Structure 1
Amino acid sequence: MTTVSPDRIPVIVGVGEIVDRPKEIADGLEPLDLLEQALRRAEQDAGASLLGDVQSLDVVNFLSWRYRDPEKLLAQRLGISPAHCYYGPVGGESPIRYIHEAAKRIARGECTVAAVCGAEAQSTATKAERAGVKLPWTPFAHDVEEPKRGAAFQKPLAVELGVFRPVTVYPFYEAASSAHWGQTPREAMTESGTLWSRYSEAAAQNPNAWLKRRYAPEEITTPTAENRLIAWPYNKLMVANPSVNMGGALLLTSLARARAAGIAEDKLVYPLGGASAEEPRDYLLRDQFYESHPQNAVLKAVMDLVGGNGRKFDAIELYSCFPCVPKMARRTLGLGADVQPTVTGGLTFFGAPLNTYMTHAACAMVRRVRDGAKLGLLYGQGGFVTKHHALVVSKTPPREALAQETSVQAEADRNKHAVPEFVTEATGKGKVESFTVLYGRGGDVEHGVVMLRTTDDRRTLARIPASDSATLEHLLDMERTPVGSLGDIAMAADGVPEWRVA
């Protein structure tokens, strides 16, 4: 029995989603339209007039269009003036963070009604640009600075070698983690295909998904003209799909306000608590790549909320930009390879409206809890395995007040080992810490990239030219991981380190 006052118990009462597939490019909805419609659908779902009383509004960062102060433009459309009105930085974890922070505000008594929303119209924006169609949207704010991401945080050598985008950085975690677990590359690929197929099964049953069909594991892992290799080991069907038009929103209020508004008890979903932590933005400043200390700390903290057992969650959403993320997460949670990792469908199949996928995941989780799940886990991640936030939701009211201090950064940092010095010039022997191979659109190898430890245990990046077939064959051997293998480092004429297998 809870002893918390109902006016300090936050509840999620409404969820709304919209998917826009215009027949004509110019008819596509802009992000502001999608945000507004998603919020109005969330209000309709709640069955009570709440939007006019929103005192806390968080808008997830979007990249398909640029506005000056989009959160204020949205508030104007809604006719509200919330005390907290925020448009945040990029980050796939941000929807979960905003939901959690909104719940904390309600628990502190700072607001009674809160909204979290996000949207992208990348499919329409891309098609319009390619076709030369001028969209009848709010004028693009060219004077607003583009959000910092990717290359802005990385070392020049990483940028020069092309390993500064998610699709070329996550392979370092993929190769290092599978080697650490004792898997051959073929076994790791099989696990990825099986896991991703489960995401596609969920998407096939989700009316809001962009790709609504099940893909067999071998369809996902086999390169074809349509499923081309991008960066080893990732084919197109193993990476996030941002070419979508989607909006999602959630409405939160206090239990007291929900009851006063006559919202049905079976609509209510309770945030029980969560945790957050992060890595350095520059991924080369991390101690290793076979696990994430912040991810571990966050997931262990939310397990502690339910008695330390990850199997108590009967509904789970593990962030799914690339397979290594849920593969690492399910191991930390103590879950087997048969895990059902999603209630939504994943960023490949449901679609990846960039930073706001977890808004849709939260909507799907609310529906799942309403349908009978007792405990739900929402785990979001942003950057390059950088920012982590998890939230536990329940059908049952909390017994204690929602915790306000939820950072587990100290725990993550406590487990961190010494970070090797990074050097841009090296010669002699180099041991593979991790690797990837980059491919062109036609399927040809552009070059390989290895992350190396030198004989004095420094770290560097090195190129493998497309002409070095022996070294590339060594890297791409499906029966034996190249992680840990030795080779020779030499400086190329352009000043970039190159590596050749011994």
Structure 2
Amino acid sequence: MKPAEVQDRADRAPVIVGVGQVVDRPGHAASGLQPSELMAQALERADADGKGGWLAQIDSLDLIHSVSWPYQDPLGAVTERLRLAPHHQNYGPVGGETPVRYLHEAACKIAAGEIEVAAVCGGEAEYTVRLAQRQEVDLPWLERSPNWQQPRDRSYLHSLARAHGLNQPVFVYPLYEVACQAAWGQTPQEGLAESADLWAGLSQVAAANPYAFIREPRSAAEIAKVSPSNRPIAWPYSKLMVANPVVNQGAAFIVTSLARARAAGIQEDRLVHVGPGAAANELRDWLSRERYDQSVAQDCVLESVLAQAGLSGPEIEWVELYSCFPCVPKMARRSLQMASDRAISVTGGLTFFGAPLNNYMAHAIAAMVARLRDQPASCGLVYGQGEFVTKHHALMLGGGARPWPGEAHARERAEAQVVPTAAPAVATEATGSIRVESGTVLFGRDGIPTHGVVVGRSSDNARTLARVPASDQRGIDALMRPDRTPVGRMARLYKADDGLLECAFD
């Protein structure tokens, strides 16, 4: 390659020049900021953070899918407010990994010379929406879509999973948690302690973050103990271990080329280079996957990013591991071979910082930029995840993770493919006994179990689901024993009056 071509690629290296965040805590719903205003203010702050003048230059805008107030024209709500007219405008699908994906895609386009300035933003106001319902206030916001449909369509899930009530992430991630504990040789009590320690660390990070929604640090003992303010959700997770979407938050970031940033006079130590990234997916139907004691797609993504950056997990100074539920960062840090006392977030996690639905990782990117500006030679890993441990995207940021210009931004690495695995057959009908593969207990808002569900393998190794009735105290206790995992135990199948399989432990 000629020296001029090398220099041209170096000039096109993508860098983050500005980040902006907004948090809104209204006392009355009428004074709450709507999502489009949170997004617009975040973009204005990102522009100011980049020393101004970038909004008029934006030729690519990606808007993170907003759920709390589904606008009739989401993109128009933001572009009209800021008088923007980017050539490329995209309103994305649901997914917690999407902010990372949009940053990765923008970096690839900038490196290829297809665009010059890109912006990504998102915002949610679920706190105000629920406050308005309690206060019986009609919110004077922009028009909602009359044809809006819940974006969390679950029709792709197996009918058996839906029939047993396992159609929400909060009820499925516990299956990974239970299976992982058994694979790691932990008792449930030991697994709970690890989760509580991790989440206590997240609460400390959130307490120091001015954009966090909950800034009260919690001890591991508080997080581990079920109480009226920490009710059980789905064994072994309680309220203080699950994502908290009832927040008002907005975040944005602006990306351009190194040459353009330098031409704007931005100091080098404020430019955060976008390094290599990777994406991969599991099968969308979680019941049809090979296993629950690891995520093959997660491993592939993290291994690919490390290999591209020429780094090992312990060499990365800063990490943001998606923390919707404890099993996700616990699996990730083992894949990265990180020490158990390493911090897993620079932001505060989706419980304490808050979970603005699909937009948490935009806040995480903003928080990571702040750390990397403080230490320009360091590097940071941002890893986002969506659906049911389904969609995975990771990206390296910072000077310490910048390979030769051009190599880091191969377009195909931003495109997620399903990682092939050897999945078992799923049986809607089964007899005899099953060997427990995982299981959980679902709770009502009153803290009382509604039922348990066992994922099990029959004698021919087919997978099925079986309910444990709330009236079967012995079965519920078997799923929730603190000193013994249910994984590997045998349970007898029988058919209930409604036609679903139930099981009883021997």
TM-score, normalized by the shorter chain, greater than 0.5? yes
Aligned pair partner of 1:320 in 308, 323, 331:
323
Aligned pair partner of 2:298 in 295, 298, 304:
295
Deviates more, 1:475-484 or 1:418-427: 418-427
Quote the residue 2:482 is aligned against. 478
Tell me how far apart the structure 1 counterparts of residues 202 and 308 of structure 2 sit (CA, whole Å). 26
Quote the residue 1:422 is aligned against. 426
Q: Do the aligned partners of 2:276 and 2:309 also contact (CA within 8 Å) in 1?
A: no
Q: Do the aligned partners of 1:302 and 1:390 also contact (CA within 8 Å) in 2?
A: yes
- 1:48 is displaced (CA, Å) by 2.5
Tell me how far apart the structure 2 counterparts of residues 248 and 389 of structure 1 sit (CA, whole Å). 19
Structure 1, residues 228-261: CA drift from partner, whole Å, max 9, x if none?
Answer: 0010001100000000000000001111111111
- 1:211 is displaced (CA, Å) by 0.8
Unaligned runs of 5+ in 1: none
Tell me how far apart the structure 2 counterparts of residues 407 and 50 of structure 1 sit (CA, whole Å). 25
Quote the residue 2:117 is aligned against. 113
Instruction: Give secondary structure in 2 for the equivalent of 1:170.
Output: helix
Q: Would you say 1:406 and 2:389 are equivalent positions? A: no
Structure 1, residues 20-61: CA drift from partner, whole Å, max 9, x if none?
Answer: 111221111111101100000000111131001100100000
Aligned-partner residue type, residue 399 of structure 1: W
Q: Do the aligned partners of 1:17 and 1:248 also contact (CA within 8 Å) in 2?
A: yes
Show the 5 A alignment for 1:312-351. Answer: 312-351=315-354
Aligned pair partner of 1:223 in 222, 226, 233:
226
- 1:476 is displaced (CA, Å) by 1.0
Aligned-partner residue type, residue 400 of structure 1: P
TM-score relative to the length of structure 1? 0.96
- 1:6 is displaced (CA, Å) by 4.5
- 1:77 is displaced (CA, Å) by 2.2
- 1:222 is displaced (CA, Å) by 0.4
Tell me how far apart the structure 2 counterparts of residues 428 and 407 of structure 1 sit (CA, whole Å). 46
Q: Do the aligned partners of 1:9 and 1:254 also contact (CA within 8 Å) in 2?
A: yes
Q: Do the aligned partners of 2:243 and 2:355 also contact (CA within 8 Å) in 1?
A: yes
Quote the residue 1:245 is aligned against. 248
Quote the residue 2:258 is aligned against. 255
- 1:205 is displaced (CA, Å) by 0.8
Q: Do the aligned partners of 1:301 and 1:408 also contact (CA within 8 Å) in 2?
A: no
Tell me how far apart the structure 2 counterparts of residues 87 and 81 of structure 1 sit (CA, whole Å). 14
- 1:148 is displaced (CA, Å) by 3.5
Q: Would you say 1:104 and 2:108 are equivalent positions? A: yes
Show the 5 A alignment for 1:80-479. Answer: 80-149=84-153, 151-372=154-375, 374-395=378-399, 398-401=403-406, 402-404=408-410, 405-406=412-413, 412-413=419-420, 416=421, 418-479=422-483
Tell me how far apart the structure 2 counterparts of residues 158 and 26 of structure 1 sit (CA, whole Å). 40
Structure 1, residues 37-92: CA drift from partner, whole Å, max 9, x if none?
Answer: 00000001111310011001000001101112312332222222212100011000
Tell me how far apart the structure 2 counterparts of residues 94 and 156 of structure 1 sit (CA, whole Å). 27
Q: Do the aligned partners of 1:306 and 1:312 also contact (CA within 8 Å) in 2?
A: no
Instruction: Give secondary structure in 2 for the equivalent of 1:441.
Output: coil
Aligned-partner residue type, residue 282 of structure 1: D
Q: Would you say 1:15 and 2:25 are equivalent positions? A: no
Tell me how far apart the structure 1 counterparts of residues 392 and 62 of structure 2 sit (CA, whole Å). 18
Unaligned runs of 5+ in 2: none
Instruction: Give secondary structure in 1 for the equivalent of 2:110.
Output: helix
Task: State, as a whole percentage, how many aligned pairs show the same letter.
Answer: 49
- 1:410 is displaced (CA, Å) by 6.6
- 1:156 is displaced (CA, Å) by 2.5
Tell me how far apart the structure 1 counterparts of residues 351 and 365 of structure 2 sit (CA, whole Å). 17
Tell me how far apart the structure 1 counterparts of residues 383 and 167 of structure 2 sit (CA, whole Å). 24
**Residue-pair matches, total:** 498
Tell me how far apart the structure 2 counterparts of residues 79 and 423 of structure 1 sit (CA, whole Å). 55
Assess, with a 3 A threshold, how the Cα gap between structure 1 residues 57 and 411 changes in structure 2: closer, same or farther.
closer
Q: Do the aligned partners of 1:295 and 1:388 also contact (CA within 8 Å) in 2?
A: yes
Deviates more, 1:306-315 or 1:36-45: 306-315
Q: Would you say 1:52 and 2:59 are equivalent positions? A: no
Q: Do the aligned partners of 2:281 and 2:417 also contact (CA within 8 Å) in 1?
A: no
- 1:8 is displaced (CA, Å) by 1.2
Q: Would you say 1:76 and 2:80 are equivalent positions? A: yes
Instruction: Give secondary structure in 2 for the equivalent of 1:47.
Output: coil
Tell me how far apart the structure 2 counterparts of residues 6 and 34 of structure 1 sit (CA, whole Å). 35
Structure 1, residues 274-313: CA drift from partner, whole Å, max 9, x if none?
Answer: 0000011111110110001100000001111232411111
Instruction: Give secondary structure in 2 for the equivalent of 1:65.
Output: coil
Q: Do the aligned partners of 2:101 and 2:414 also contact (CA within 8 Å) in 1?
A: no
TM-score relative to the length of structure 2? 0.96
Q: Do the aligned partners of 1:488 and 1:501 also contact (CA within 8 Å) in 2?
A: yes
Tell me how far apart the structure 1 counterparts of residues 250 and 399 of structure 2 sit (CA, whole Å). 25
Q: Do the aligned partners of 1:48 and 1:261 also contact (CA within 8 Å) in 2?
A: no
Tell me how far apart the structure 2 counterparts of residues 408 and 72 of structure 1 sit (CA, whole Å). 27
Q: Do the aligned partners of 1:447 and 1:463 also contact (CA within 8 Å) in 2?
A: yes
Instruction: Give secondary structure in 2 for the equivalent of 1:52.
Output: helix
Structure 1, residues 400-449: CA drift from partner, whole Å, max 9, x if none?
Answer: 21322215867932xx2x21111222210111110000111111111100
Tell me how far apart the structure 2 counterparts of residues 85 and 408 of structure 1 sit (CA, whole Å). 19
Structure 1, residues 169-190: CA drift from partner, whole Å, max 9, x if none?
Answer: 0001000011011111111011
Aligned-partner residue type, residue 37 of structure 1: Q
Instruction: Give secondary structure in 1 for the equivalent of 2:202.
Output: helix
Aligned-partner residue type, residue 377 of structure 1: L
Assess, with a 3 A threshold, how the Cα gap between structure 1 residues 312 and 193 changes in structure 2: closer, same or farther.
same
Instruction: Give secondary structure in 2 for the equivalent of 1:484.
Output: coil
Quote the residue 1:42 is aligned against. 46
- 1:154 is displaced (CA, Å) by 1.5
Tell me how far apart the structure 2 counterparts of residues 76 and 280 of structure 1 sit (CA, whole Å). 38
Structure 1, residues 182-209: CA drift from partner, whole Å, max 9, x if none?
Answer: 1111110111011111111110111100
Compute the RMSD of aligned alpha carbons.
1.6
Structure 1, residues 341-374: CA drift from partner, whole Å, max 9, x if none?
Answer: 0000000000000100000000000000001160
Assess, with a 3 A threshold, how the Cα gap between structure 1 residues 159 and 69 changes in structure 2: closer, same or farther.
same
Instruction: Give secondary structure in 1 for the equivalent of 2:413.
Output: coil
Tell me how far apart the structure 1 counterparts of residues 46 and 339 of structure 2 sit (CA, whole Å). 35
- 1:213 is displaced (CA, Å) by 2.1
Aligned-partner residue type, residue 464 of structure 1: V
- 1:399 is displaced (CA, Å) by 2.5
Structure 1, residues 138-161: CA drift from partner, whole Å, max 9, x if none?
Answer: 021122333143x33222332222
Q: Do the aligned partners of 1:117 and 1:249 also contact (CA within 8 Å) in 2?
A: yes
